Structure 1
Amino acid sequence: MHESGSAVPAGGTGGSPARPRLEDVAARVGLSTASVSLVLRGVPGPSERTRQRVLKAAAELGYRPDRTASALASRRSRLLGVMVDVHSPFHAELVEHLHTAAEEVGYDLVLSALTRTRDENTAVETLLAFRCEALILLGPVAPAATLAELDRKAPVVSVGRRIAGAPLDVVRTADDDGVGQTVDHLVGLGHRAIAYVDGGKGVIATDRRGGYRDAMRRHGLHEHVHVLRGGSTEETGEQTGRRLLDDGPLPTAVVAYNDQSAIGLLTVFRSAGVEVPGTVSVAGYDDDTLSRLSCFNLTTVSQNAREQARQAVTTAVERLDGGRTEPRETVLAPTLIVRGTTTRAR
C-alpha cells in the first residue's frame, strides 16, 4: 500500500548493494528468465518442484518484483486510488478492509489524505498523478457534476454518499434507515424527548437528519423534533453538549450524527456529573473503533465497513477488468448495535 507524499527509491545509491534482478534468480536455479517470471507471477505451467526452487531462490536473494517496470511494460498500474479523511476513525477502518479486498484481486492502493489544509481536488489530482486506474472516494463532498467529470478520467466509486443527478458508481448504507432504527430503539425504551445533533452540510448529513425527522414523525413525536447544530468531530460534540447543559432541561436521549460527535457529548455530560445513560441516553453512528472501547461502550449503527470495502473494490474492478459501463448503486442495510449508553427513559 502506498501513501501519497512519500516516495521509495527504486534502487540503491552510492555504496548500497545492487537490487537483485530477475536474471539473478534465473541464474541461481539454472532456468530461463521467462520460466522464472511465470512462477513469480503465479501463472500455471511450471511444475511444483520448479515453483518451490524458484521461490526459495528468490527468498534467499531478497528478490522483489519491480512494480514500476512491470506497470510500464503492461501499461497497467493496477493501483486503486483512495481519498481518505485522516481525522475519521471510520475511514481508517475502511482503508484496512479496502487493502485486503484489493490484494485479493491483484490490486494495490494509493492513499491521498484530506486534511484541514488539503482539499478534495488536491487529493484527487495526486491519485491521478500516481496513475491510479480507478478512484475510490470515501464520503466525497464535491458536486455530482464534478464527480461525473472526474469519472471520465478514471472510474469513480463514491463510498458512503448517495449521488443524485450523475451516472456514477455508489456503495453506501441506507443512512436514513440507520438513524431511524436508533430512534425506534429509543422510543421502545420509553423516550419521547429525543434530540438530534446534526452533521452539518452534505448529502450524508442530510440523509441522516431526514432519517431522524421521519422516524420521529412516524412515532407521532412531531412536537419533540429537535435538531441541534453540530458537526463530525469530538470538538463539535463537546460544543453541542455544553449548549445543551446551558439551555435548560436536558432531553432524555440524544442521537449524534456520528460516533466522534457522540463521544464529545459523552465527555461533556460525564464531566458535568450527568449520568449516561441514567439521565441521558446517547447514541452515535458508524460503529468505529473508539465506540467499542469499554470506556465509551457506545450504542451506535454499524455500516459494515468490511462489506462496503469489498463492494467498492469489486465495483471498481468490474469497470476496469469486466467491461461494465452502466453505473450501479449498492445500498447495504445498516445494523443497530446496542451497548451501554442507552437505557429506559428516566
Structure 2
Amino acid sequence: MEAGPMSASKPLARRPTIYDVAKLAGVSPSLVSLVLQNPGKVSDKRRDAVRTAITELGYRPSRAATTLASSRTKSIGLVIDDYRNVWFVDLLRGLESVLAEHGYQVTLADSRPGENRIKEAADGLLAMHVDGLVIAAEPGATVLSGTEVPTVVAGWRNGVPDDADLITNDDDGGGAMAAVHLLDLGHRRIGHLSGSGGAAAHRRAGFDARLRQSGVKPLIVGEEGGTTEEDGYASACWLLDHHPDITAIFAANDTMALGAFGAIKARGLVAPSDISVMGYDNSALAKSRYLELTSVDNRSDVVGMGVAQSLLARIQGSTVGAQRKLIQPALVVRRTTAAPRS
C-alpha cells in the first residue's frame, strides 16, 4: 500500500534518494523509477506528483543505477563533422526536445571531415555503450558496417548505410526554391557556391535543374571542395574574378555565404545593390540583425524531432526496414537579395 504525500517542510541535510521522492510524492519507489525510465506508462496525476517531488527535493537520478536496472545507458550519440557550421544547433534542439521526454541525453562528437575521423568518432560513442547513433556527417559506405545499435542518418549524406533510417530536408526542392526566388527577381547571371557533401550535391542538383528549365545556365564552383566560410570566400573570389558580370550568388549553406560577403567586400562591392547573396539552412548567422541573410530554411529542428522519433522506434523494436522521410523546406527572404541593377 502506498503512503500518502508528505510535505517537505525543510530541505534534507543529505543527498535525496529515490525513496525520499517516493515518500514525498505518496507513491512507491518502483513507480518513481518507472517515471524516470518510461513516463508514458504512468498516469498524468502520478507523473506530475513525482516530478514535483523531484523538483522540490532537488533529486538527481543516478545514471549508473538506471543503466544497471534497465541494461540501457539512456544516452544517444550524435556525430557531426564541423562545429564551425552552426546548422547543427537547431538539429540538436529538435533531438533533445523529443529525447528528453524519454529520459535520454545526447552525447556530441565532432569528427571533422574524413571517413577515418568519422569512424573514430562513431567508435568512441559506441565504446560508451550508447543506445543509438545519429550521424550528421558523411559516413562513407563502410564506416558503420557491423554497427549493432539503432542508427539514423540526419540529412542527405554520401554512402548512407542501407539499414539506417534517413530523415532529411528536401534539399533538391530547397535548391529549386532558391533558383525560383532569384529568377523571379530578374537575375540571369547567377553563381552557385557548392561542396562535395551529399546535402550540397542535392541542393546543387535542384538549383541547376530549375535554372536550366528557364534557359539559364548557372555558374557553379566548388563541387569537390568543403563548405566552410573559407571555402565560400575562395569560391566567391574565383567566381567574381572570372565572371564579374554575375548579379547573384547562391551558397550551399549560410557559412559559405558569409565567406561570399568577404569576397564581395574585398572587391569594393555591396550586397544586394551590386550583387544579391542567399544561403541555405536559415541558421543563427542568417537570422542575425547584422546580416539579415536571405536563406532557405532546412527546418533542422523538425529534422531533429523526426530523427529522435525514428531512433526511439528503432530502440523499442517497432520498425521494420529502413525508413526515408523528407522534410519540406521554406524560403525566408531578408535584405540580401534584390532585383539586379539595370
* TM bin (shorter chain): 0.7 to 0.9
Task: State the alpha-carbon separation in 2 of the partners of residues 345 and 211 from structure 1.
Answer: 22
1:313 pairs with 2:311? no
Over aligned residues, Cα RMSD in angstroms? Answer: 3.0
Give the aligned partner of residue 135 of structure 2.
Answer: 137
Structure 1 residue aligned with 2:10: none
Asked if 1:226 corresponds to 2:219, the answer is yes
Identify the match of residue 158 of structure 1 among 153, 156, 172: 153
Q: Compute the displacement of 1:78 (Å).
A: 2.2
Distance 1:47 1:195 in 2: 59
Q: How far apart, CA to CA, are the structure 2 residues paired with 1:239 and 1:128?
A: 37
Compute the displacement of 1:281 (Å): 0.9
Q: What letter corresponds to residue 208 of structure 2 in structure 1?
A: R
> Is contact 2:132–2:150 with CA below 8 Å preserved after alignment?
yes
The separation in 2 between residues aligned to 1:29 and 1:100, in whole angstroms, is: 26
Q: 1:280 aligns with which of 275, 278, 281?
A: 275
Are the equivalent residues in 1 in contact too, given 2:296–2:332 (CA < 8 A)?
Answer: yes
Deviation at 1:242, TM superposition (A): 2.5
C-alpha displacement of 1:157:
0.6
Contact 1:81/1:109 (<8 A) preserved? yes
Q: 1:74 aligns with which of 70, 91, 114?
A: 70
1:131-182 deviation digits (Å, cap 9, x = unpaired): 11111111x21223433x24x4111111111566723210011212111111
- Contact 1:80-1:108 within 8 A present in 2 as well: yes
Amino acid at match of 1:240: S
Tell me which amino acid in the other structure corresponds to 1:137: I
Instruction: Give the secondary-structure state (helix, strand or coil) at the position aligned to 1:326.
Output: coil
Tell me, in whole angstroms, the C-alpha distance in 1 between the residues paired with 2:326 and 2:95: 17
Q: How does 1:131-210 map to 2 (within 5 A)?
A: 131-138=129-136, 140-147=137-144, 149-150=145-146, 152-161=147-156, 166-199=162-195, 201-210=196-205
Quote how far apart the aligned CAs of 1:214 are. Answer: 0.9
Q: CA deviation at 1:273?
A: 2.3
CA contact (8 A) 1:35 1:46 kept: no
Contact 2:21 2:57 in 1 (8 A): yes
Conserved in 2, the CA contact under 8 Å of 1:87 and 1:115?
A: no
TM-score (norm 1): 0.82
Query: 1: distance between equivalents of 2:256 and 2:265?
Result: 14
Distance 1:251 1:291 in 2: 22
Aligned residue number for residue 211 of structure 1: 206
Pair 1:65–1:184, CA change in 2 (3 A): same
2 CA distance for matches of 1:38 and 1:207? 44
CA contact (8 A) 2:193 2:236 kept: no
- Helix, strand or coil at the partner of 1:144: coil
Instruction: Summarize the Cα distance change of 1:35–1:82 in structure 2 as closer, same or farther, 3 Å threshold.
Output: closer
What is the Cα deviation at residue 264 of structure 1? 0.9
> Aligned AA for 2:104?
Y
Aligned length in residues: 322
Q: Which amino acid aligns with 2:227?
A: S
Q: Indicate the residue corresponding to 1:107 in structure 2.
A: 104
Paired residues of 1:196 and 1:227 also in contact (CA < 8 A): yes
Question: Deviation per CA, 1:264-296, whole angstroms, max 9, x where unpaired?
Answer: 111221343212111111111111111111221
Unpaired segments ≥5 residues, structure 1: 1-16
Higher mean Cα deviation, 208-217 or 238-247? 238-247
Measure the CA separation in 1 of the matches of 2:284 and 2:275: 23
Cα distance in structure 2, aligned partners of 1:61 and 1:76: 26
> TM-score with structure 2 length normalisation?
0.83
Letter in 2 for 1:184: V
Match of 1:341 in 2: 336
CA shift in 2, pair 1:278/1:320, >3 Å? same
Would you say the 8 A contact 2:79–2:122 is kept in 1? yes
Q: Helix, strand or coil: the match of 2:280?
A: coil
> CA separation in 2, counterparts of 1:333 and 1:31?
45
Query: Taking structure 1 as reference, are residues 32 and 102 closer, same or farther at Cα in structure 2, changes over 3 Å only?
Result: closer
Deviation at 1:326, TM superposition (A): 1.3
**Distance (Å, rounded) in 2 between the aligned partners of 1:40 and 1:212:** 47
The separation in 1 between residues aligned to 2:77 and 2:250, in whole angstroms, is 33
Q: Which amino acid aligns with 1:305?
A: S
- Structure 2 unaligned blocks of 5 or more: 1-12
Shift of 1:32: 6.4
- Which residue matches 1:295? 290
Query: Is the aligned partner of 1:262 residue 2:257?
Result: yes
Sequence identity, in percent? 31
What secondary structure sits across from 1:265 in the alignment? helix
Which residue of structure 2 aligns with residue 119 of structure 1? 117
Aligned twin of 1:7: none
